[in-house]
Amino acid sequence: MPEIKFYKQQQIPMEMHKVRIVQKLNLLPVDERLARMKEAGFNTFQLRNRDIFLDGLTDSGVNAMSDRMEAAMLQADDAYAGSESFFRMEKKLQEIFGINYVLPAHQGRACENILAERFVKPGNCVIMNYHFTTAKAHITRVGGHVEELVSDAGLVAKSDLPFKGDIDLKKLEDCIIKETPENVAFLRMEAGTNLIGGQPVSYGNFKAATDIAKKYGILTVLDASLLQDNLYFLKTRDESMKDKTIREITRMVADCFDLVYFSARKFGFARGGAILVRDEDMFHSMEDFIPMFEGFLTYGGMSVREIEAMTVGFEESMDFDVISQGPQFVKYCVDALDAYGIPVITPAGGLGAHLYASDFCSHIPQEQYPAGALVCALYICGGIRGMERGTLSEERNPDGSERMANVEMVRIAFPRRVFTLSQTEYIIDRVKWLYDHRDLIGGLRFVHEPATLRFFTGKLEPIGDWPDKLAAAYKADFGEDQ
């Protein structure tokens, strides 16, 4: 069912599920939110869930599970070795992706660790359409470096290009020649792309990019963590795909790659991960890493209950009704913000709505982390938790200078099937208020700055007393108890 049509009412996304288990929410008054933000060191990762009204930090591990997933957890087979739960998962993945060998891992970054350990040597290059934080951290940890070759048009915030995650094919070939094919550990395509706004990759680009890599004997790797959104966009934005089933499209994409890995905190709606390997010798060359880093080969650090749930989740990800929910809600939110003139990444992608902080807070210099400041302001003014996806999420250059992000964004993730339309309206409303009061937002500076993945654990402070002034303006408009 692509869309339910309305008679007189304006067209809105329709939930294709009903809610049967709920979690009570709590909205702290604005003064308390201000105090919690100060305690959290102006880092939304450091907030406690009980202090948050709507949690749009991530869609990772927090998507709503279905009744069937919950039911499957009851028949999990708890064996250290030879668990039937694993074999059920393996069979489902083989069926969906057409790839024979399955290595389980406890989450996506664990797969990235194993890929880096196995394939990346000091001085090697890994080519990507765009990096993801943990993928890049593992590659640089073992002495490799990353080349990000997304097409220039993919980095333009306001756009109507349907597939902004596409890699620039000319740059890809030039890069292979410059680096020499022997020095390229692998080509990693991320679908959809996380750090440029959940933007998808076209089928033609998957095919052409992997064909180029194969011509030079380079291994091809798909990060399928956000594949369900990419599948939705392939079916709805690529004319040649519209009559194909999600299963057929999945297989066409997978067929382009030697290796597929994913975070099952996203793909599969549970908590875990896996690497799928086509070649038997390659599989054996990676096998030892699983017991060393993860757990035995039939659980890989995951609970067997999660394995059962994700196996059902993989099957549900082949259902167009299921995978269309996230992108439809994101689009509703993005379109409403865009119509108000708020800078957002367009077209709407999967994963979440992305505010374009460079323009939203154009008065804050990039070295004072405009996206970091905006995400804190959003929590103070609404109790909504988002995630900074900009310079704060980068690591410094080896000489200590800041590596400025290409795109400064605040991501408001839409965990799948979690928020209702009225909650989405609340998010839109508070972002509008914040936009009208954006001049009150100021910059941030670090008081504790870890060297690696600093956005997780770093602590910051405001430059000036802008958070107090912002909270005062909010109180003046909405009252003390909001």
Which among 38-46, 92-100, 104-112, 274-282 is the span making contact with ligand F0G, rule CB under 6 A? Answer: 104-112
Residues 171-190 that bind ligand F0G (CB under 6 A): 190
Q: Identify which of residues 41 and 108 has a Cβ nearer to ligand F0G in the complex.
A: 108
Q: How far apart are CA 62 and CA 51, in angstroms?
A: 17
Measured from the CB of residue 271, what is the shortest distance to ligand F0G in angstroms?
8
Binding status of residue 236 toward ligand F0G by CB under 6 A: no
Q: How far, rounded to the nearest angstrom, does the alpha carbon of residue 259 sit from its chain's CA centroid?
A: 20
For residue 121, give the nearest of 103, 136, 135, 141 by alpha carbon: 141
Which 31-90 residues touch ligand F0G, going by CB under 6 A? 58, 60
Contact assessment for residue 326 and residue 100, using Cβ atoms and an 8 Å cutoff: no
* In the complex, minimum distance from the CB of residue 388 to ligand F0G, in angstroms, rounded to a whole number: 11
Any catalytic annotation for residue 80?
yes
Residue 230 binds ligand F0G, judged by CB under 6 A: no
Give the tokens for residue 145. 């470096």
53 vs 324: CA distance, rounded Å: 25
- Give buried/exposed letters for 79-114 (b at 16+ CB in 10 A, else e): eeeebbbbebbbebbeebbebebbbbbbbbbbbbbb
Among 168, 223, 229, 306, binds ligand F0G (CB under 6 A): 223
SS3 content of the chain, % helix, strand, coil (to 5): 45, 15, 40
Tokens of 72: 């499957």
Judged by beta carbon, residue 196 or residue 434, the one nearer ligand F0G is 196
Judged by beta carbon, residue 34 or residue 307, the one nearer ligand F0G is: 307
The helix/strand count (H/E) of the chain reads as: 18, 14
Residue number with CB closer to ligand F0G (413 or 470): 413
What's the burial of 339, exposed, middle or buried (CB within 10 Å: 0-12/13-18/19+)?
A: exposed
Query: Of 132, 232, 283, 414, which one is the catalytic site residue?
Result: 132
220 binds ligand F0G (CB under 6 A): no
- Examine the residue annotation and report whether 6 is marked as an active-site residue of this protein: no
- Is 266 tagged catalytic? yes
By CB under 6 A, is residue 134 in contact with ligand F0G? yes
- Does residue 231 belong to the site contacting ligand F0G (CB under 6 A)? no
Q: Which stretch binds ligand F0G (CB under 6 A): 73-81, 223-231, 286-294, 373-381?
A: 223-231
Minimum distance from residue 333 beta carbon to ligand F0G (Å): 17
In 3-state terms, what secondary structure has residue 33?
helix
Which distant-in-sequence residues (6+ apart) come within 8 Å of 126 by Cβ? 120, 139, 144, 145, 146, 147, 184, 185, 186, 187, 188
The residue (of 30 and 226) whose beta carbon lies closer to ligand F0G is 226
Token pair in block for residue 163: 């597939």
**Shortest Å, Cβ 134 to ligand F0G:** 5
Give the binding-site size for ligand F0G (rule: CB under 6 A): 15
55 is catalytic: no
Q: Tell me how far, at minimum, the Cβ of 190 lies from ligand F0G, in Å.
A: 5
Active site residue 133: yes
Query: Which amino acid does the sequence have at 321?
Result: D
261 catalytically annotated:
no
CA 357-347-421 angle, to 5 degrees, is 85
Catalytic residues: 80, 132-133, 223, 266, 389, 455
| Contact positions vs ligand F0G (CB under 6 A) | 58, 60, 107-109, 132, 134, 190, 194, 223, 225-226, 263, 265, 273
